Amino acid sequence: MLKLVGVETFYGKIKALHGISLEVSEGQLVCILG
């Protein structure tokens, strides 16, 4: 299992992800598009 909590990402001065939390179980495929 993969667990992400409170992820934030910036592209230059632009905040692209705002505190994203995500839990992925074994065998799942997840894609974040934006």
Nearest 5°: the CA angle 13, 15, 16 is: 125
DSSP states of 1-34: -EEEEEEEEEETTEEEEEEEEEEE-TT-------
- pLDDT, position 10: 95
- pLDDT, position 7: 94
- How many other C-beta atoms can be found within 10 angstroms of the C-beta atom of residue 32? 11
Using one digit for the tens of pLDDT, what is the confidence trace for 1-34?
999 999 999 999 999 999 999 999 999 999 988 6
Closest by Cα among 19, 18, 25, 20 to 2: 25
User: Are residues 21 and 8 in contact, defined by beta-carbon separation less than 8 angstroms?
Assistant: no
What pTM was computed for the model? 0.58
